[in-house]
Structure 1
Amino acid sequence: MSRNGSFSSKVTAAKRKTSKKPPSRVISIPQMNKLLRKSHSSSSSVRPLWPSGVDQEMLFAKSQIENAPIIKNETRLYAPIYRNVSMFRRSYELMEKMLKVYVYQDGEKPIFHQPILDGIYASEGWFMKHMEANENFVTKDPGKAHLFYLPFSSRLLELTLYVGNSHSRTNLIEYMRNYADMIAAKYHFWNRTGGADHFVAACHDWAPAETRGTFAQVHQSPLTESSQKSGRQPVPPKDLSLLSLQGNTNYIQHMKSSKFCICPRGHEVNSPRIVEAMFYECVPVIISDNFVPPFFEVLDWESFAVIVLERDIPNLKNILVSISEEKYIEMHKRVKKVQQHFLWHSKPEKYDLFHMILHSVWYNRIFRIRPA
């Protein structure tokens, strides 16, 4: 729908068709909200084998977040786009003040420690670059670390080891399993929690398969849109999803002149369509069953995006035209306000994509912490 009100020609659609295989069970956003609350109220993480002072620090942070003072005057954060802006700000403040991350130096290039900084897979590279160079969050003392980062590139793993047209990723999975076994044998940090305080950040849609098994407890942070397939139940608080920007001039102009941009889930997860829509100030219309949006634990996606179940595609026009101009104007405003959380900078800035990725891992770890 264009900003002058006409329908059809000005609805910007993604350039890739949706997957034909529907999931066996569809989880709505309200149901995901319940799963999120249930996850945060239960202790689903592995109990550490021995106690550590960092656990007490995180339990303290959890208490501070749950009892965060109500925000009254805040200029950087627009309250309507968050689930609870007071909790988010308090959590972010504590992250800046407390969080320490141990970055493993093990692993050979190019699969490890060699960031890709351009193209559709650039997010994992920029995160790796910023994380390894960070002086505020990184610690060389694993005893002080709240989180442990495994700096590998899922894209370079594919380019280095995948045998073209083999349709087999066995050697990639085996490579990552051997790496995890080496880490577990060399360091005791992994064994304390079974990897529950470790995390990886990956763009490629193969990453979940590459890190299965040995990495079961690790926070896996796919840096592209999440697309749950084959009926797999989404677990909102564990995975976060991010993406990089691309597009030609004509495509961009369509987005800029549209009120709504249609974002079907597609077949793979390496698509930038949702963040492209937000970047060009177009309200995203997410058509996907069991889609877990980026930063779901803190952002109220229904406040600035339209989320449509795949079965409701025939009714899409009615859904969009039923949105009043007043509601659209507010959603459009919120799209602009949320942009700051999806931008990369050559030097990380407060509330940007680098910090939001780190905050998501920090926040979800805090609400899964279990004392020994």
Structure 2
Amino acid sequence: MEMSRCMFHEKNFPKRFWAEEANTVVFLQNRLPIKAVREMTSFEAWLVAKGYAQIFGVDYSDTFVVARLDTIRLLLAIIAQKSWKVFQLDVISAFLNGNNAKHIQNFKQEMMKVFEITNLGVMSYFLGMEIKQGQGEIFICQKKYVKEILKKFQMEECKEVSTPMNQKEKLHKEDGANKVDEGYFKSLIGCLMYIMTTRPDILNVGDEKPDTKFVLKGTDKENFKGHKLRRIEEKLAKARYSIREASKIRNLRSTLQDPDNVPEGPIYRNANAFHRSYLEMEKVFKVFVYEEGEPPLFHNGLSKDIYSTEGRFINEMEKGRHYRTYDPDEAFVYYLPFSVVMLIEYVYDRGSNYNLDPLGLVVKDYIRTISYKHPFWNRSLGHDHFMLSCHDWGPVVSSYVDLLYNNAIRVLCNANTSEGFKPAKDVSFAEIKLMDGEVTGLVGGYPPSQRTILAFFAGHLHGYIRYLLLHTWKNKDQDVQVYEEIPEGMSYYTKLRSSKFCLCPSGYEVASPRIVEAIFAGCVPVLISDSYVPPFSDVLNWNSFSVQVAVKEIPNIKKILMGISESQYLRMQRRVKQVQGHFMPNEPPKRYDMFHMTVHSIWLRRLNIHIQDQ
């Protein structure tokens, strides 16, 4: 590579020394720390006797490559053609090498005996160029350098010109005009020449077509990211095709091999389609969690009490055990890791008469931050981003950012279609009340023959629907037992386990932890609401294991439930036990459990959209 490091080292020597006397390149000032005195070296020089020169006052402070760029490009082309990996070593110089791991390791060990050497891993930055490696291809990017040059010469606001300059235009000296800054123009031309030599697509314009089919292409970072995005969309297209084909198989049992229980039966809308979709998700789906934001408002949540599912999901994504990628270019979706519960705990003023502006402003500022630091929000206008909230105020907080409310995937316990929840893009999230953070004692119930209560409910007077239920049925019927307060000496969970049907009316908002409580107890849930979308209803057939009652039908609840035959009830109760695993908040998560089912719902929403690089 014809690069070497000067064996001579000196501090604070005259600026002109190397550039004018030695006729060499001088750059990388203040590069190495001197650990003994904890200061940086001043005017440290690289001596490469190649005949290059920089002139003090003209281009002395500019950085230029001390290597032949055609050599670098040739090596990169050969490496890409051979499908090798490029590794970079700072021997106080840089080397490109092949893929013989043993030889590379031996070489590094030998070099470490003589030189100071740092293993930089797979090459990503080299002589100012950003290098991205793929299978059989290498991308060279100079975006950062180009932006620096535009800023340096105050051309950031300049517009593109589609018509090239007239190369035959003759320039004439203008008498009386102020003398131009010769150093300014020399520095500008030098920078442009460097850009040209490091971008083969610019340098080789007009060259002959190469004999080989292999082409080394210059690109910028956006084009490279667009390449990654196209690959993601190709994977999604293949997954959609596989799912469609699987959906055509109408037998009740999936034909796919799976080490765990295979989804089957009428509890699913289409067991084969769900199974194929789940396997495709496990194979390719990746989630990028934005690292901006600090706990407790971000990257943190409560794993106990009524909002436990929100905190458990946040904490699981932070652990990175499933689906998470730390490379945003590989991500299918992007997670906004704020917790509405924690915003209410630390930001909301409880004496403010329900003023949610401070919460909304935090979210608004967060999205402004990530959209400024990363290109992904602006690229998709939020369509491939998601938030998650189990608090009733989650939808309201999301409304402070139009794109978050209208475009992004909102994973909400409060899945109310009358308040803006859109089943095609939003995800209904299950609410579970875990007082001690565990499900121990919540799962299990009496066999159907020992369930002597037709229907049961106990809960406070929250909202209009519960008012109607309590007004109609409280202390009115022994078959339909409805309580505002559970009587002393009576066990709430014993009642659940002893009932055939468990009434699950919406409160002030549509979500209710009683739905999952009923499922855990083996009690057929009766959903009483007009606009609630149950969790996982994109794959689960809720009609097969639950009863859904409109609010206006509350007076007819007993008649509706008595109209269900014993054989039909037994089928529904058996199916309730089948779906229990999908609502289980395991730690750590297990396949097909609540965490994975929630991610699968997000995966399905991503399948429904197509993102194009702008």
Measured against aligned partners, the alpha-carbon deviations of 1:76-132 in whole angstroms (never above 9, x if no partner) come to 423210100001000100111111111111012111012211111111111111112
CA distance in 2, matches of 1:164, 1:369: 42
Equivalences for 1:116-265 in 2 at 5 Å?
116-166=302-352, 167-212=354-399, 213-216=402-405, 217-222=407-412, 224=413, 226-229=415-418, 235=423, 237-246=425-434, 250-265=491-506
Q: What is the TM-score of this pair, normalised by structure 2?
A: 0.50
Residue matched to 1:352: 593
Do the aligned residues in 1 keep the contact of 2:264 with 2:272 (CA within 8 Å)? no
Measured against aligned partners, the alpha-carbon deviations of 1:9-44 in whole angstroms (never above 9, x if no partner) come to xxxxxxxxxxxxxxxxxxxxxxxxxxxxxxxxxxxx
One-letter amino acid of the counterpart of residue 258, structure 1: S
Q: CA offset at residue 292 of structure 1? A: 0.6
Measured at CA, do residues 199 and 361 of structure 1 come closer, stay the same or move farther in structure 2, by a change above 3 Å? same
Residue matched to 2:521: 280
Q: What is the TM-score of this pair, normalised by structure 1?
A: 0.82
Q: CA offset at residue 365 of structure 1? A: 1.3
Q: CA offset at residue 315 of structure 1? A: 1.4
Do the aligned residues in 2 keep the contact of 1:275 with 1:342 (CA within 8 Å)? yes
Measured at CA, do residues 285 and 353 of structure 1 come closer, stay the same or move farther in structure 2, by a change above 3 Å? same
Q: CA offset at residue 67 of structure 1? A: 1.1
Q: Provide the secondary structure at the position in 2 that maps to 1:208.
A: helix
CA distance in 2, matches of 1:308, 1:359: 27
Identity of aligned residues (%): 39
Measured at CA, do residues 285 and 136 of structure 1 come closer, stay the same or move farther in structure 2, by a change above 3 Å? closer
Q: CA offset at residue 237 of structure 1? A: 4.9
Do the aligned residues in 1 keep the contact of 2:411 with 2:429 (CA within 8 Å)? yes
Measured at CA, do residues 317 and 63 of structure 1 come closer, stay the same or move farther in structure 2, by a change above 3 Å? same
One-letter amino acid of the counterpart of residue 360, structure 1: S
> What residue ranges of structure 2 are gaps of 5+ in the alignment?
1-224, 436-485
Q: Provide the secondary structure at the position in 1 that maps to 2:423.
A: coil
Q: Provide the secondary structure at the position in 2 that maps to 1:339.
A: helix
CA distance in 2, matches of 1:201, 1:128: 8
One-letter amino acid of the counterpart of residue 243, structure 1: E
One-letter amino acid of the counterpart of residue 432, structure 2: S
Q: Provide the secondary structure at the position in 2 that maps to 1:201.
A: strand
Q: CA offset at residue 289 of structure 1? A: 0.1
One-letter amino acid of the counterpart of residue 563, structure 2: S
2:231 to 48, 53, 71: 53
Q: Provide the secondary structure at the position in 2 that maps to 1:67.
A: helix
Of residues 172-181 and 260-269 in structure 1, the stretch that sits farther from structure 2 once superposed is 260-269
Residue matched to 2:554: 313
Measured against aligned partners, the alpha-carbon deviations of 1:252-301 in whole angstroms (never above 9, x if no partner) come to 11110000011111113553010111110000011100111101111111
1:266 to 497, 504, 507: 507
Do the aligned residues in 2 keep the contact of 1:225 with 1:293 (CA within 8 Å)? no
CA distance in 1, matches of 2:321, 2:235: 20
- Does 2:574 match 1:333? yes
> Which structure has the higher relative contact order (CA within 8 Å, separation 6+)?
1
Measured against aligned partners, the alpha-carbon deviations of 1:183-240 in whole angstroms (never above 9, x if no partner) come to 1111001111111111111111111111222413111101x3534446x575355222
Equivalences for 1:43-82 in 2 at 5 Å?
52-68=230-246, 70=249, 71-72=254-255, 75-82=261-268
Measured at CA, do residues 233 and 129 of structure 1 come closer, stay the same or move farther in structure 2, by a change above 3 Å? closer
One-letter amino acid of the counterpart of residue 522, structure 2: E
Measured at CA, do residues 229 and 91 of structure 1 come closer, stay the same or move farther in structure 2, by a change above 3 Å? same
Q: CA offset at residue 152 of structure 1? A: 1.3
CA distance in 2, matches of 1:225, 1:95: 25
CA distance in 2, matches of 1:250, 1:229: 35
Q: CA offset at residue 65 of structure 1? A: 0.9
Bigger-Rg structure (1/2): 2
Do the aligned residues in 2 keep the contact of 1:234 with 1:291 (CA within 8 Å)? no
Q: Provide the secondary structure at the position in 1 that maps to 2:410.
A: strand
CA distance in 1, matches of 2:605, 2:548: 23
Q: How many residues align?
A: 322
Q: Provide the secondary structure at the position in 2 that maps to 1:190.
A: helix
Q: Provide the secondary structure at the position in 2 that maps to 1:68.
A: helix
- Does 2:530 match 1:289? yes
Q: CA offset at residue 52 of structure 1? A: 2.9
CA distance in 2, matches of 1:175, 1:368: 28
Residue matched to 2:183: none
CA distance in 1, matches of 2:286, 2:422: 29
One-letter amino acid of the counterpart of residue 199, structure 1: F
